[in-house]
Amino acid sequence: MRSGRHFLQIPGPSNVPDRILRAMDYPTMDHRGPAFADVGRKALEGMKSIFKTEGRVVIYPSSGTGAWEAALVNTLSPGDTVLMFETGHFATLWQKLAEKLGLNPIFIEGDWRGGADADQIEAKLREDKAHAIKAVCVVHNETSTGSVTDVAAVRRAMDAAGHPALLMADTISSLASVDFRHDEWGVDVTVSGSQKGLMLPPGLSFNAISDKAMKLSETAGLKHSYWSWQEMAGPNDTGYFPYTPATNLLYGLNEAIDMLHEEGLDNVFARHARHATAARAAVEAWGLEILCRKSSDRSPVLTAVMMPEGHSADNFRAVTLRNYDMSLGNGLSKVADRVFRIGHLGDFNDLMLIGTLAGVEMGLRDAGVPFREGGVQAAMSALGKNSDAARAAA
């Protein structure tokens, strides 16, 4: 038994607010009965406002990985070439998934210290005179490294190259935390999940779909059944699903959509940006290095921190969990044990941030990691300095 609240400061799953927990604490209803249509329609329509699209949104009862697969199998054919960019662990997983499906991914190598480079994407597309590349896939917020890709710049690069490939973006950890505009940025398939910025438990995933991608799904050759947009479309038009939806998660989703609009999406984005600025001020004051090198690419959702040489990030995380009951994100694959990740997303406020950073500072001390004191103080100063901006944004 540990008293007080556990601090779940991994960059997803994020903390689920009580309001959403209460919304889900309601009897499961007949998903084919008359009352369900309102729940289904509200979720499907409401998510359009979050993706900023007039197009179709589908909702799966699955983790985000399912929506990655759905994006590819609904639009592409065996052997199709897709262009992907190695921003980190999640971009690599999506690339491996594409390979397993029988696609031919070109993977632009990256150093895991920034977002995808639109200029390199443009150069690859210009080389592809025969238009063999059928899709460009980027991760908007690379959760393993704390870097953001400028998706609008990727669209501009595709247009500059005059290339007709589809644009796909993974927003699993950015949607409802970082500004994203499916229609305005000309994204064809946006992939997302429930358990990060949307503040829900894991278990729902999403595709937002352009008309062009929907049209391609009529003839795409990769085999699929469960993920079929075509089979979703008919029932979805009246608020229903072709198979049992995650009913109680949809109650929670509808509450989340209301909460996001009550706060205002722009205010939600400003809040995340402000907390990220303060978290980075703490890391710099500690004298530690932020994994994402390019300051313009740094994520509003999480901060990945490099450990000083010879010190184990996993040991530090274990000490912090044991002493302060706080979970921090681990380093994944290439950066395993080399970095830890501080999640500052979702249902989050100034004092939760300060508590989180205090836990990190005490954990560094307890684990014997060399650092300078004063990170929490620097974060408090950064929040103070930014409070006018935060109020103006509201």
Contact positions vs ligand PLP (CB under 6 A): 12, 63-65, 90, 139, 143, 170, 172-173, 193, 202
List CB contacts of 107: < 8 A, sequence separation 6 or more. 84, 85, 86, 92, 95
Looking at the Cβ atoms of 62 and 74, the one nearer to ligand PLP is 62
Looking at the Cβ atoms of 114 and 375, the one nearer to ligand PLP is 114
My answer on whether omega of the bond before 13 falls inside 30° of 0, hence cis, is: yes
- Which conformational region is residue 389 in: left (phi greater than 0), alpha (psi within -120 to 50 degrees), or beta? alpha
Which of 302, 375, 286 lies closest to 8, judged by CA? Answer: 302
Looking at the Cβ atoms of 197 and 375, the one nearer to ligand PLP is 197
Q: Least distance from C-beta 171 to ligand PLP, angstroms?
A: 8
Looking at the Cβ atoms of 63 and 312, the one nearer to ligand PLP is 63
Looking at the Cβ atoms of 188 and 361, the one nearer to ligand PLP is 188
Residue nearest to ligand PLP (CB): 64
Looking at the Cβ atoms of 51 and 90, the one nearer to ligand PLP is 90
Report residue 308: phi and psi, to 5°. Answer: -60, 145
Q: Least distance from C-beta 90 to ligand PLP, angstroms?
A: 4
Radius of gyration, CA atoms only, the chain: 21
Q: Are 338 and 317 in contact (CB under 8 A)?
A: no
Which of 79, 71, 91 lies closest to 210, judged by CA? Answer: 71
Collapsed DSSP state (helix, strand, coil) of residue 342:
strand
Q: Least distance from C-beta 109 to ligand PLP, angstroms?
A: 19
Q: Least distance from C-beta 66 to ligand PLP, angstroms?
A: 7
Concatenating the DSSP letter of every residue in 113-182 gives SS---HHHHHHHHHH-TT--EEEEEEESEETTTTEE--HHHHHHHHHHTT---EEEEE-TTTTTTS---T
Looking at the Cβ atoms of 66 and 375, the one nearer to ligand PLP is 66
Looking at the Cβ atoms of 17 and 64, the one nearer to ligand PLP is 64
Q: Least distance from C-beta 306 to ligand PLP, angstroms?
A: 20
Q: Least distance from C-beta 369 to ligand PLP, angstroms?
A: 26
Q: Residue 136 burial (CB < 10 Å; 0-12/13-18/19+)?
A: buried
Structure tokens at 43: 């979720």
Looking at the Cβ atoms of 68 and 286, the one nearer to ligand PLP is 68
Q: Least distance from C-beta 355 to ligand PLP, angstroms?
A: 23
Q: Are 254 and 43 in contact (CB under 8 A)?
A: yes
Collapsed DSSP state (helix, strand, coil) of residue 192:
strand
Q: Least distance from C-beta 174 to ligand PLP, angstroms?
A: 8
Cα dihedral value 194, 200, 201, 206, nearest 10: -20
Q: Least distance from C-beta 29 to ligand PLP, angstroms?
A: 25
Q: Are 116 and 110 in contact (CB under 8 A)?
A: yes
Q: Least distance from C-beta 191 to ligand PLP, angstroms?
A: 8
Looking at the Cβ atoms of 96 and 322, the one nearer to ligand PLP is 96
Beta bridge partners of 298: 147
Alpha-carbon distance of 385 to 290, in angstroms, equals 21
